[in-house]
Every structure is written in C-alpha cells, then in structure tokens.
C-alpha cells in the first residue's frame, strides 16, 4: 500500500511537471510528438493534432517528447525556437510544481480540521541562553511569537525556526499579566540539548477539576485549578497519561517519592506523591479541547502563499545550519520518500496533502539546480548561449554533458537508496 501511494503521489507530481512543459511548448508553437503518462513500453495511445497521447506500462511519472530537441533545422522544433522561448518551456515544469502547492494548501486550509490548543509552558530556562537574556522565566505561558498565535509547541517550534540568526518577539502570560519580550539572536548552532533559544517546554492540557478529600493526591498538596505539567519526568497530555506516567515511575523506582510538577498562580510548584500506583485516585481532570478550524476561500488562498514562504525560509535556515556545522543534511531517495509518505498518510488526508505540497516545492527547486540532465542544467546551456551572443555549443557536446550528468544522478540515487535500505533495517 505504501509503494502504491508513493507512486500515485510522486507520479502525479511528475505528470504535473511534464504538463507544464507540454502547455509551454504548445504556446511556443513547438510540435509535441508525444505526451506520455508512465514510462515505456507503451500500453496504448492515440494521436490527435500531431501529438501521440500514450499510457505506458511502467507506472512512474510521465514525459514530453518534442520535435528537434537538438536540431534547429525543423521550423516547429524546440531547438529552432529563440533562447527566450526555450527558457520559457524549460522553466514551465518547475513553475507548475510551484503553483500546485498553492492549490493544495488552499484546499487544506479550507477543510475543517482539529487543532490542539494547549498552554505552552516554560519549565526551565538554560543559563546564559537568549531566553534568559530576554527575561523568560519558568512558568511563563507563551501566547504569541512574532505575531503568530501560539496554540501548541509545534507552533512555537515553527516560529523559532523561522527566526534563526535573528531576534524574535514574544508575548508571555506571567501571573495573569501579559509581558512583551524580545529574544536576541536565536541561535543557529546552540549547545547540545538547549535548543535555539534555551528553554524547556511542556504542552500543558490538563487542569485539576477536583481532588477527593483525604485522598493521597489531596494529602500531597494537589489543588483544583492546578495545571498538570509532568509526573516524574514524563509530560502529561491527555486524561489517561497522569496515571500511565505514575505507574511507569513507580515501577522504575518503587521506593522513591514521585515528583509532580504543576503550574499554580503563574509559578511552577513541585509536589511529591507516595510511590503508590493508586496515588492519583480521587483526582479528576479537565482536558483542554481541540478546536476545529477552517478558512474561507480568499483567506485560505492568502495563507497558502504565507505557508510556502515559510517553507522556503525554513529551507534556507536549514542550509545555514548545515553551513555552520550545526546539522547534517539528511537526504532521502525514492525508498526513504516512500516510507515517509506512508507514515504521513497514517495521520490522515490533510497531512498527506501538505506532504504532497512539500514534495512539489522540492521538485520545483531540485529541477532548477544547474546540474546536467536537469531542467536547470539545460537552462544553464541556454543562458551560456545568450552570453555568447547567440552562439550555441555543439549539440554533441551538450548531449555528452547531459548523458554524464544523468549517469551521475542515477549513481547518486542508487547510493542514497542503499542508505535508505540500511536505515530501514537498522
């Protein structure tokens, strides 16, 4: 099922890419000999207007075959068109892959979907960190970052990653008051275990509703309206997790008291429960509900551009971290992407659409890299021709360069796929 889903997702993106070349070629009056879905051998096809439309046996992507891709002598050939027309045709595939995410993300933002809403709470602040310099304190509830509403820790992580190397402005709630803070110089290469700003968080979702009189929980000091943060070292995120965490901690250290951290009146309070699996009997909790949200068409359309801009900014920041030696680039081949596609699909249709949009953006960028055999490599040859005053390189030389580039690409894909397989079975 994972392989089939991967073929559908990636195959669809490649077909969209090839449609860009197809429509651009038609607009430039280049004769398209064949537009194929899948790769040969051909299953069946039909010809209309001088173009053969084929369905092929290998269910992977598609292709466009144009007249005279290297021979400029034919009047309707690709090579016979001006440099600017050829640039238009070569760039149209990536342009289609860039447009598709706008449509996909618009659909996602218009679709009602649950959003976890929590109190993102600072548990501790690393000494000397940007957060400490800004005055962030344990117990602060982070409400806003750079104008972005913070509903959960994923929102905050996104906001931080978008500001690597720059300052970030936060609004926190502290003992019932809103406090504005500016975090200086979000770190690209932070000390191990500290994160970019140097805070340790929890997504607090559980509030103590009531405590039975005389129970072990009451005797330990738990009070109504306490916000449960952790039991032992385990975060508690749903109504079952305090009991599950308690049992695990007691089984690990049956003679040691169990620390429970709560947020009370804006301050973190540490309490001790007896090492008893029933120590939380008599405790009732309220769970922060998830909110179902959606946008109207125009708002969703605008939000899609914002999301794409953030994806590109995250990509740039990740490259900066790699250059600084703060991270290693993780490259996945077809096998790795297939596995990730299957994992994402298990979370639902909206995450799968978001993943497809991300793959489409990656495909657009990768194809524009000026490497032989890619669209970007072919664009580079056309640009060289323009710089040379219209004098082209010999077709056989360009053909050799692209063939060598294609061989290198295949070799790289094989090596990456071997690494994917090793990770899969590690």
DSSP state of 123: E
Q: What are the pLDDT digits (tens) for 211-266?
A: 999 899 899 999 998 888 888 878 776 666 677 878 887 888 888 888 988 888 87
Whether residues 199 and 127 fall in one domain = yes
Say yes or no: 7 and 100 in one domain.
yes
Residues 405, 350 share a domain: yes
Residue 421, domain member (yes or no): yes
Query: Which carries the bigger pLDDT value, residue 143 or residue 68?
Result: 143
Name the domain boundary from 259, 290, 321: 290
Tell me: the pLDDT tens digits for 62-115? 889 999 877 677 778 898 899 999 999 999 999 999 999 999 999 999 999 888
DSSP run (H or E) holding 142: strand 141-145
CA-CA-CA-CA torsion sign (402, 52, 28, 77): positive
CATH code of 164's domain? 2.30.42.10
Domain contains 301: no
Please tell me the predicted confidence (pLDDT) of residue 237: 64
H/E element, 63:
strand 51-66
| Other Cβ atoms closer than 10 A to 2 | 14
Q: Could you give the maximum distance between any two Cα atoms of the chain, in Å?
A: 95
- Does 187 map to a domain? yes
Tens digits of per-residue pLDDT, 8-57? 898 899 999 999 999 999 999 999 999 999 888 899 999 998 899 999 98
For residues 284 and 290, what is the distance between their CA atoms, to the nearest angstrom? 19
Q: What is the pLDDT of residues 264-284, one digit of tens each?
A: 887 889 999 898 888 888 888
- Cα(244)–Cα(255) distance, integer angstroms: 18
**What integer pLDDT is reported at residue 329 of this predicted model?**
65
Q: Which residue has the higher pLDDT, 190 or 329?
A: 190
Q: Which of 340, 373, 370 is nearest to 358 (CA)?
A: 340
In a domain, 216, yes or no: yes
- Cα separation, 206 vs 229, whole angstroms: 8
Q: Which of 408, 342, 419 minimizes the C-alpha distance to 377?
A: 408
pLDDT of 47 reads: 93
Same domain, 278 and 179: no
Q: Record the tokens describing residue 276, joined without a space.
A: 């008893």
Same domain, 382 and 417: yes
Per residue in 341-380, pLDDT (tens digit) is: 888 888 888 889 999 999 999 999 999 999 998 999 999 9
User: Is residue 323 domain-resident?
Assistant: no
- Whether 135 and 181 map to the same domain: the answer is yes
| Whether residue 123 sits in one domain with residue 73 | no
Nearest to 394 by CA among 25, 71, 5: 71
Q: What is the dihedral of CA 66, 71, 75, 80, to 10 degrees?
A: 90
| Same domain? 265 vs 169 | no
The domain boundary residue, chosen from 290, 321, 348: 290
Helix (H, G, I), strand (E, B) or coil at 182: strand
CA dist 100 and 108 (Å) reads 13
Percent of the chain with pLDDT over 70: 96
Domain count, the chain: 3
Q: pLDDT tens across 160-179, in order?
A: 999 988 999 999 999 889 99
Among residues 203, 225, 250, the one where a domain terminates is 203
Is 297 part of any domain? no
Mark whether 196 and 216 lie in a shared domain: no
Question: Bigger pLDDT: 17 or 287?
Answer: 17
Strand ranges in 167-289 using DSSP code E only, listed in sequence order? 168-174, 177-183, 199-204, 206-211, 227-231, 234-235, 258-264, 267-273, 283-287
Q: Do 78 and 89 form a contact (C-beta atoms < 8 A)?
A: yes
Q: What is the pLDDT of residue 240?
A: 66
Whole-prediction pTM: 0.78
Tell me which residue has tokens 């708002």: 299
285, pLDDT greater than 80: yes
Q: Is the pLDDT of residue 296 over 80?
A: yes
Residues near 333 by Cβ (< 8 Å), separated by ≥ 6? 413, 416, 417, 419, 420
| pLDDT tops 90 at residue 135 | yes
Decide if pLDDT at 155 tops 80.
yes
Q: What is the pLDDT of residue 171?
A: 96
Angle (CA) 53 57 61, round 5°: 70
Q: Does any domain span residue 308?
A: no
Q: How far apart, in whole angstroms, are the C-alpha atoms of residue 351 and residue 364?
A: 20
Using omega within 30 degrees of 0 as the cis cutoff, is the peptide bond preceding 41 cis? yes
**How many residues appear in the chain?**
426
Q: How confident is the model at residue 118 (pLDDT cuts 50, 70, 90)?
A: confident
The predicted pLDDT at position 39 comes to: 83
Q: Residue 52: which H helix or E strand, with range?
A: strand 51-66
Q: Burial, 270: exposed, middle or buried (Cβ in 10 Å; 0-12, 13-18, 19+)?
A: exposed
Looking at the structure, do residues 198 and 229 belong to the same domain, yes or no? no
pLDDT tens profile 317-340: 887 777 766 666 677 778 888 888
pLDDT at 91: 96
Tokens at 315, concatenated: 């990509």
Residue-range definition of the domain harbouring residue 164: 115-203
Q: What is the pLDDT of residue 53?
A: 94
Kindly state whether residues 81 and 14 are assigned to the same domain: yes
Q: Are residues 188 and 285 in the same domain?
A: no
pLDDT at residue 394, rounded to an integer? 84
Structure-token pair, residue 268: 């973190």
User: Quick check: is 218 in a domain?
Assistant: yes
28 CB contacts (<8 Å, ≥6 apart)? 81, 85, 88, 89
């Amino acid at each position: 099922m994972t392989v089939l889903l991967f073929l559908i997702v990636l195959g669809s993106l490649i077909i969209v890419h090839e449609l860009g070349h197809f429509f651009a070629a038609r607009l430039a009056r280049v004769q398209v000999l064949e537009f194929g879905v899948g790769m040969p051998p051909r299953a069946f096809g039909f010809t209309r207007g001088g173009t053969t439309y084929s369905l092929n046996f290998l269910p992977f992507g598609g292709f466009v075959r144009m007249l005279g891709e290297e021979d400029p002598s034919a009047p309707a050939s690709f090579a016979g068109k001006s440099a600017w027309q050829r640039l238009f045709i070569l760039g149209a595939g990536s342009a289609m892959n860039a447009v598709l995410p706008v449509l996909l993300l618009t659909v996602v933002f218009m679709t009602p979907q649950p959003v976890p809403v929590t109190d993102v709470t600072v548990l501790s602040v690393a000494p000397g960190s940007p957060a400490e310099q800004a005055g962030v304190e344990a117990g602060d509830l982070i409400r806003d970052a750079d104008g972005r509403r913070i509903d959960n820790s994923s929102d905050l992580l996104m906001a931080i990653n978008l500001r690597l190397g720059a300052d970030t402005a936060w609004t926190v709630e502290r003992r019932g008051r809103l406090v504005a803070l500016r975090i200086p110089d979000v770190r690209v290469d932070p000390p191990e275990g500290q994160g970019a700003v140097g805070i340790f968080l929890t997504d607090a979702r559980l509030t103590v509703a009531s405590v039975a009189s005389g129970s072990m929980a009451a005797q330990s000091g738990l009070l109504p309206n306490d916000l449960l943060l952790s039991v032992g070292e385990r975060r508690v995120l749903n109504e079952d997790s305090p009991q599950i965490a308690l049992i695990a901690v007691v089984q690990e250290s049956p003679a040691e008291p169990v620390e429970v951290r709560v947020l009370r009146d804006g301050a973190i309070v540490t309490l001790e429960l007896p090492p008893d699996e029933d120590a939380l009997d008599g405790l009732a909790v309220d769970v922060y509900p998830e909110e179902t949200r959606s946008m109207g068409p125009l708002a969703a359309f605008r939000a899609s551009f914002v999301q794409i801009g953030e994806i590109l900014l995250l990509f740039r920041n990740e490259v900066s971290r790699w250059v600084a030696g703060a991270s290693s680039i993780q490259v996945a081949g077809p096998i790795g992407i297939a596995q990730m596609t299957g994992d994402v699909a298990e979370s639902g249709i909206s995450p799968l659409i978001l993943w497809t949009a991300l793959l489409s953006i990656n495909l657009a960028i990768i194809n524009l890299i000026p490497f032989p055999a890619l669209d970007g490599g072919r664009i580079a040859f056309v640009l060289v021709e323009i710089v040379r005053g219209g004098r082209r390189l010999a077709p056989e030389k360009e053909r050799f360069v692209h063939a060598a580039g294609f061989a290198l690409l295949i070799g790289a894909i094989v090596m990456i796929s071997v690494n994917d397989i090793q990770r899969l079975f590690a």
